[in-house]
Structure 1
Amino acid sequence: MYEVFSLYRTEISYTVVTVFVLLIVQFLLKKAAHRVGKRSEINFTRTKLMFKYINILILFIAFFLLAIAWGMGLTELSLIFSSVFAVIGVALFAIWSILSNITSGVILFFSFPYKIGDKIKIHDKDLPIEAIIEDIKAFHLHLRTLEGELITYPNNLILQKAVSLVEKDVYLDEDKSSL
């Protein structure tokens, strides 16, 4: 055991430092996402989704740094990453709307001015929608119309259409009136 440690001392110490630093960065990023979610009154399930994205990002960074630490050259690493991204790129080109909706979900997390319970109007010339936001997911919004119909609206479309606030916190107002 001592021979292994003495042989790979620099790699092991670099691994320990890298893991420690990345855990601190992950903690800080999650704390920042939690703070943004709390300040913006974002539903905690949406904040947990951001935590998953942060975990994936940290894993990619960890793989890259540890591969370099253990002797994988930049040529081999760039070959692996370019191959993986080429395959992912071809696959995602076939299903680009999923990537678009995930990206839109991240944008909505940080900058969507409407909350769950707000009554909004989507100004679409083909299909105008007036509904209450029931839930905001990674790929879509759940909207409940005044007639009780549930509409699943893609995140990428909500960023492309004009949206106006009709009434704020409709669910909360109904809950208060029943007390």
Structure 2
Amino acid sequence: MENFEYSKELWRTGIVLVVFVILNFIITKLTKRYAKASHLSEHRTNLISKYIDFLMFALFCVAMIAVWGSKSEDIFTFIGTALTIIGVAFFAQWSILSNITSGIILFFTFPFRIGDVIRVHDKDFPIEAQIEDIKAFHTLLRTREGELITYPNSLLLQKGVSIVPIKQEDKEFYD
């Protein structure tokens, strides 16, 4: 039986794969446990799970490049080039990145929940509405008049927002 030329790399690949699968499983369970303890919606929990999956896949790719013997200079050159290209693209689309980051911050700091009535203190466009859903890029708000507003997550973090207590007579409108 001949020695297989890449047997070490194949073993290492298998080990890294198993480690990443187990690590991803543990992180997903911890995220779901946190979401359940904080009474977060399933939609928001799934969104954060997708972000984690993407990050884990990127780390797995970097680990595979290292396992298969690429020189560290080549890896750092590739990562530097990729980050530069991504940085330029995100700079051009800073509002998208800002809204995604804001969505993650809203998930973990959780200043308000779906169903809360909020007042956005904006000098030019003040809003008082109930939160219907919080998505990756925006939050859906419904006014008393029934108007549905799509409000960017980044603005929710930039503007002053207060939670308005629901009066008993208004409760049936918002339910």
Question: TM exceeds 0.5?
Answer: yes
Alignment partners' CA distance in 2, 1:3 and 1:24: 33
Residue number in structure 2 paired with 1:159: 157
Residue number in structure 2 paired with 1:117: 115
The question of 1:29 aligning with 2:24 is answered no
CA contact (8 A) 1:36 1:110 kept: no
Letter in 2 for 1:144: R
- TM superposition shift of 1:3: 4.3
Counting only pairs closer than 5 Å after superposition, residues 62-77 of structure 1 correspond to structure 2 as 62-77=60-75
Residue number in structure 2 paired with 1:135: 133
Gaps of 5+ in 1: none
> Measured at CA, do residues 163 and 3 of structure 1 come closer, stay the same or move farther in structure 2, by a change above 3 Å?
farther
Counting only pairs closer than 5 Å after superposition, residues 45-84 of structure 1 correspond to structure 2 as 45-84=43-82
Alignment partners' CA distance in 2, 1:150 and 1:82: 43
- TM superposition shift of 1:9: 2.1
Residue number in structure 2 paired with 1:93: 91
Letter in 2 for 1:88: I
1:54-110 C-alpha deviation (Å, 9 max, x unpaired) = 111111111111111101111111111111111111111111000010011111111
Quote the sequence identity (%): 48
Aligned residues: 171
Residue number in structure 1 paired with 2:103: 105
Alignment partners' CA distance in 2, 1:21 and 1:174: 51
Alignment partners' CA distance in 1, 2:25 and 2:121: 40
Alignment partners' CA distance in 2, 1:82 and 1:3: 40
Alignment partners' CA distance in 2, 1:112 and 1:159: 11
SS in 2 for 1:164: strand
SS in 2 for 1:113: coil
Gaps of 5+ in 2: none
Alignment partners' CA distance in 1, 2:129 and 2:2: 68
